Chains A and B, each alone.
Chain A
């Protein structure tokens, strides 16, 4: 540590000779990637769960294949494979329509890939949560003549949320950490910024420690939010001692 004239606080300063600002914006883009991927995963998962439960045979088989493969293959391989396959496929599709190739934005690619992976896990979590709703509640809604959309909004959704919350919060925690894998395909979020900072200043230990603390802060804040949400969503449920 003595070889470098800059002190720890100078290294972590927000202004450019220090790397603090870069780390914080890396952390912001980690949160942005994770939140967007989580939202996309939620949409895929909701669609997947409803389709799986509706029971159209070829559709269910396809979805089973999707969830089984995604959950059996290492995340790193999925991210690298889908990253290349996704950009390559998109450009081939564009070429087929006679359009010029596009350079896919790193952020969009990262979100799409992580969202696609999250979707598989979400499908299973939400399917379980919907199955855990007492059938009588949904039948009652149907007996009142509610349209499927109204039934979903007023009965299914509020009833499934408390069931799904533990699974969903686990997935949120895992996507914030999986987003670090995007560093391997070269998108500059917190993990890659940290590595660059380390490589530039040779203070690897300091910067990785700082990054670990930032990730931990993200996790701990998420924990607080999840606790608050859980209390709120379960307010209609009987208290179990």
Chain B
């Protein structure tokens, strides 16, 4: 076991860690917003909206994330230059990056899983509480904003913590589309120094530490709003 390469590569590792965390934060926060919409579409949407949301969840949960990522990056990515005017637009530098495609596909994938979790949570909010809100004269939107959604999120919180950790563990896939995330840095170190296990070990420690941090953070949030049994 040799670790003298750490002295040379630590700035790269820090950069990689930032990319990993950025992918995680972007996909979880945007994915969560999307999931709220999808969950409500399934619980109280009309017939069209409901089946659309259900299909979205089935398709994104039924295919590997790697295929979704490659479909976006290689598939859509190779079609994009054919769109007239796009190459000249201000969006092009963004659309050229693997990071963009990774962020989009991770967001969609996370939203699909999270929507199922939220759907279950929305359905398990006691009906009486919603009726009480309506009886107090709240509009449907106010009931959603003040009672239904907060209660559902609280119910789903432990599962959400699990989903976030799973999402963290999915981020290394980004390296297959040229994103220099933490895993890609480990890969580069392996190619430069021919050390296989040491870089993987260091990177693994980071992932485990981040997992512990996420679990702790959610523990703190859960403790803020204790559930009465």
Contact = CB atoms under 8 A, between A and B. Distances in A.
A61 interface: no
A212 B204 contact: no
A206 B210 CA distance: 37
| Chain B interface category by residue count | 35 or more
A15 interface: no
A99 interface: no
A205 interface: yes
A185 B130 CA distance: 52
Interface stretch (A143-151, A154-162, A215-223, A228-236): A215-223
Interface string B74-86: 1111110000000
Nearest to B77: A204
A63 interface: no
B71 A81 contact: no
A191 interface: yes
Contacts, number: 102
Nearest to A85: B197
B207 A74 contact: yes
B211 A72 contact: yes
A75 B169 contact: yes
A181 interface: yes
Interface in B157-202: 168-173, 175-176, 183, 196-197, 200
Interface of B: 58-59, 61-68, 70-71, 74-79, 168-173, 175-176, 183, 196-197, 200, 203-204, 207-208, 211
Interface of A: 69, 72-77, 80-81, 84-85, 88, 173, 176-181, 183-184, 191, 194-195, 198, 202, 204-206, 208-209, 211-212, 215-216, 219-220
8 contacts: A69-B208, A74-B207, A77-B183, A191-B70, A195-B70, A204-B74, A204-B75, A212-B68
